[in-house]
Amino acid sequence: MYTSKFRGNRKQQGTLLVDLSVACIIVIAFAVLALDCGGAIMAFGITDRACRDAARAAAQGSSPSEARQLANSVIGTYASSSGILSSPRIENVTYTDFGGHPPDGSSPFVTVTTSANARVLAPLSFFGRDVLAGNFPMRKTYTFPIVKLDVDS
């Protein structure tokens, strides 16, 4: 008579295989989700640094055109050749110097807004519906006080 080395019958062994298959699918889904989240965090960090550095450079300008030129020169250093993040671009530079005479309790400032598009590294679909796929926009705004300002006495 044949005796199995394993305790239990064939039905229990088949159940173990099904459980293991389902667990592997869940682990793979979480791994893909972690990969996408990691890519998004990295893309946000690059977009954040680019905007902060562009706003800091624009704050060194003594006119709106100089501020925009300085911000554009800094944002150019963040040109990306990776497939994860498009090169950040400046959407808006707002130079508020109050005509050289800021009201009491306020100071002149410059606001820079940048944007970029991040790509999902590993698309995630459940039951034929895309949960994570394609590109998603990232936008950041920073405000810094103007450092160089021509003030009429």
- For the chain, how many structural domains are there in total? 1
More confident residue, 101 or 145: 145
Map tokens 């999902």 to a residue: 120
Asked, for residue 5, whether it belongs to a domain, the answer is no
Task: Say which amino acid occupies 143.
Answer: T
Report yes or no on 1 lying in a domain: no
User: What tens digit of pLDDT does each residue of 18-41 get?
Assistant: 888 999 999 988 888 888 788 888
Q: Which domain holds residue 66?
A: 10-145
124 occurs within a structural domain: yes
Contact 78, 50 (CB under 8 A): yes
**For residues 80 and 86, is the Cβ–Cβ distance under 8 A?**
yes
Residue that wins the pLDDT comparison between 41 and 128: 41
Residue 91 to residue 93: CA distance in whole angstroms:
7
* Least confident window among 4-8, 28-32, 96-100: 4-8
pTM of the model: 0.74
Nearest residue to 77 via CA among 60, 59, 52, 113: 52
In a domain, 2, yes or no: no
- Does residue 150 fall inside a structural domain? no
| C-alpha torsion sign, points 33, 37, 138, 135 | negative
- The CA distance from 109 to 96, in Å, is 5
User: For the segment 47-72, what is each residue's pLDDT rounded down to a tens digit?
Assistant: 999 999 999 999 999 889 999 999 99
Q: Lowest-confidence range among 60-64, 74-78, 98-102, 131-135?
A: 131-135
